[in-house]
Amino acid sequence: DISPIEPPGENYRFDWTSPMMLSQHDPDVLYVAGNRLFISHNRGSSWQRTEDLSRQIDRDELDIMGVKGRDITISRNDGTGSFGEAVTLDESPIDPSVLWVGFDDGNLQVSRDGGATWSEVSRNVIGITDGTYVSRITASYRSPGTAYAAFDGHRDGDFAPYVFRTEDFGGSWQPIQSTLPELGVVNVIVEHPDNPDVLFLGTEHHAFASTDAGASWAQIPNLPTTHYDDMLIHPREKDLVLGTHGRSFWILDDTRALAEWGNASGPVTVFSADRSTIQVYRKDTSYRGQAAFAGTNPVDGVEITYKLGAGGGDATLSVTNAMGTTVREMRVPSSAGTHRVNWDLRHPAPGSADTWQRFMNPELARSIADRGPWVSPGTYVVTVNARGATASTQVVVRGDPEMPITVAMYESRERFMLEALALTDEINTYRSENGFGGGGRGRGGRGARLPIDTPAGKLAAAARTVQQVYSALNGGGVRPGTLYPPTESQRAAVQNARALFEEVRGG
């Protein structure tokens, strides 16, 4: 228990949901707010406390329809404090010395010196009743003096939304709720860290978004009508995470496109993409039936979001490496609007799919059809070509951080896999052009093995050897594959397969 300990003669007051947070600037700094703000610089081992920041109004002495609250309140001491308590706090993401605390008694305080001194700024908010519950205070990424405050008046029969922004440390406030529905108390507001004009807020009924700093709001579709308690934007993934009262968590993946929406005016726009990690999935669900419950995993690789203006014609997406070599090209949706497609961090799949694997092993957690080899870690350029124009973004691909594999090892593996695919294509082309067919359990089918002393048998054996090595590295069937480069034995097996092929071709 690291709770602040009261000195003799004083009772600290904390709300049911007392706000607490770790500093965005120093992970050893912890804030907890009650009637005071408590600040620890050593993860709760010791605490510094501010003055009592509440208005210190005894609610038991307030008249309710002419009668003192102490005389008529049912379950008066059942968890409900008689004096004000903090219900929201925040630290400036720009300046750790700027702190904000909001109270259930309508008090809103700001400190510009790390909590040493405080100023009450709630009385500068025009348009709300004095004493209205401060439901949220959010410090801005725009400047140290900018913050957003939301107020909840439903305890006074006022269910209207109230959201304000200050740009001068609370000296003045501007309302930004003009286009919100008339009913719907605001519980939370967050600002996008990459673009302070992009805001999200949650009310008693819906979630909303704004791309113009609150001048206008749009309801976020495909969400339940429910109470939205909290929101955050994941600092790395840029996902919008919403917490509701009884209707689960909801996540809007990768909001970078919304943050960059103001620049999406051309015929083609490709939005920034998250970095992606090469990794091997080591489990499947082939033989467990309904014995285990598992959610749907995200697709492998990186999601590319792009926007197309009006017009027609095809659209293509290409991926080039640091040397300018194209490693992947694919056709993508070309209709006007916003699209999201996946690049699985791989080269193109082999030209002839190994269909017997799909037949033998259905229902795997990841596709086990033939896939191209993984690219190596590095920075890649993704380009969308459409409407006679192009637009690009960079994608950083990193190796599995849990594996002791160097970039040189990844590159060695990539070269070997591409050489193996090229050899397989040579063998299959030669077989097709010279009437040897596709049998013999090579890449073309599951027939009986042909005698090795015949040209057809040698070709089938060569193709089969290369395929076995390729599948062992790349995964296939129940094999998970590996990120390590090939062993010397695997290299020798492919060399022997080439020698066998050259023997037939030079025959």
In a domain, 485, yes or no: yes
In a domain, 65, yes or no: no
In a domain, 13, yes or no: no
DSSP string, 252-310: E--THHHHTGGG--SSEEE-----EE--------TT-TTSS--PPPPPSSEEEEEEE-S
Last residue of a domain, one of 202, 235, 263: 263
Whats the size of the chain, residue-wise?
507
H or E element in which residue 326 lies:
strand 326-332
Enclosing domain of residue 417: 407-506
116 and 232 fall within a common domain: yes
In a domain, 63, yes or no: no
**Confidence band (pLDDT; 50, 70, 90) for 448?**
low
Please count the structural domains in the chain. Answer: 3
C-alpha–C-alpha distance, residues 320 and 381, integer Å: 5
| Domain harbouring 102, CATH code | 2.130.10.10
212 and 333 fall within a common domain: no
258 and 283 fall within a common domain: no
171 and 95 fall within a common domain: yes
332 and 240 fall within a common domain: no
The arithmetic mean of pLDDT across residues 352-376, rounded, is: 53
C-alpha–C-alpha distance, residues 283 and 462, integer Å: 30
In a domain, 99, yes or no: yes
Is 187 within 8 Å of 138 (Cβ atoms)? no
| Domain harbouring 366, CATH code | 2.60.40.1930
CA-to-CA dists, residue 9 to 12, 54, 108, 320, 482, angstroms: 10, 18, 26, 70, 65
In a domain, 139, yes or no: yes
Q: What is the pLDDT of residues 302-344, one digit of tens each?
A: 999 999 999 999 999 999 999 999 999 999 999 999 999 999 9
The arithmetic mean of pLDDT across residues 377-401, rounded, is: 97
Last residue of a domain, one of 218, 239, 263: 263
379 and 454 fall within a common domain: no
The pTM assigned to this predicted structure is 0.81
115 and 203 fall within a common domain: yes
389 and 414 fall within a common domain: no
Mean pLDDT value across the chain:
88
227 and 146 fall within a common domain: yes
Q: Which of 81, 86, 84, 90 is nearest to 34 (CA)?
A: 86
Residue that is written with structure tokens 């690049």 in the block: 343
Q: What is the pLDDT of residues 139-186, one digit of tens each?
A: 999 999 999 999 999 988 999 999 999 999 999 999 999 999 999 999
DSSP summary character for residue 221: S
Is 206 within 8 Å of 184 (Cβ atoms)? yes
In a domain, 234, yes or no: yes
Contacts of 375 (CB under 8 A, 6+ apart): 278, 321, 327, 345, 346, 347, 397, 414
289 and 373 fall within a common domain: yes
C-alpha–C-alpha distance, residues 286 and 360, integer Å: 10
Last residue of a domain, one of 230, 263, 296: 263
